[in-house]
Amino acid sequence: MLSNKEIAVVIGRLKAVLRDGPDPSVTLVGKKWKDPFLVLISCLLSLRTKDETTLPACERLFARARDIRGLLNIPVKDMEKLIYPVGFYRTKARTIHGVCRDLLARFDGQVPEDLDQLLTLKGVGRKTANLVVTEGFGKPGICVDTHVHRISNRLGYVKTRTPKETEFALRAKLPAPYWIEYNAMLVTWGRNVCKPVSPLCSRCPVNKICRRVNVGVHR
């Protein structure tokens, strides 16, 4: 298994390579607006949707409204048009309305900082909740999507079967100072180099450390 000393080397090298690279859409929303509510909405829009579609949809929607009551004043049908073509845009428009109503009813219109409270919002899963905690509030959390799950196992740092298992394994093993940046770093790396099929190992600065677990063909 990859040690914590080795994962520190991995993170250091990836940070150096990605210093000037593009951030994921949710990270960009967090940096631009510095608002946990908008981070939450951008997370909901980003699910099963590419960044090049998510970010323009966020900008169109937030040009109309950037607060709970403002979004609720946008009819669902109009919201569908604003966020199209994000994946499942009709469902997401209804989900956004539902989350806004729930925040008003149970949290006095404020996005909770607590992970367990975030998970009580309908449509909010562990990935979204952890992203809100890290990107919205700047608090430690570990968001695990398919890229983080795949690369953490491919490196040989954890041995898990599901993203949820990976999250808890990382919480137990990954040093806390790396928690916030770990997701955005591995998402960007997974999209561009450490791909699901035929990863570009020859371009990877950690190819001598990586255990290449379950990697067959690579370039």
What CATH architecture does domain 4-22+141-203 belong to?
Orthogonal Bundle (1.10)
- Same CATH topology for 4-22+141-203 and 35-137? no
pLDDT digits 0-9 by tens, 67-122: 999 999 999 999 999 999 999 999 999 999 999 999 999 999 999 999 999 999 99
pLDDT digits 0-9 by tens, 129-171: 999 999 999 999 999 999 999 999 999 999 999 999 999 999 9
Query: Are the C-beta atoms of 123 and 88 separated by less than 8 Å?
Result: no
pLDDT of the residue at 22: 85
Query: Are the C-beta atoms of 199 and 153 separated by less than 8 Å?
Result: no
The average confidence (pLDDT) of the chain is: 97
Residue 204, φ and ψ in degrees, nearest 5 = -90, 125
Mean pLDDT of the region 44-58: 97
Residue with tokens 């048009």: 81
- Is the pLDDT score of 49 beyond 90? yes
How far apart CA 15 and CA 114 sit, in angstroms, is: 28
User: Which CATH class for the 35-137 domain?
Assistant: mainly alpha
Confidence of residue 217 (pLDDT cuts 50, 70, 90): confident
Q: How many CB atoms lie within 10 A of CB 15?
A: 12
Q: Where are the domains of the chain?
A: 4-22+141-203, 35-137
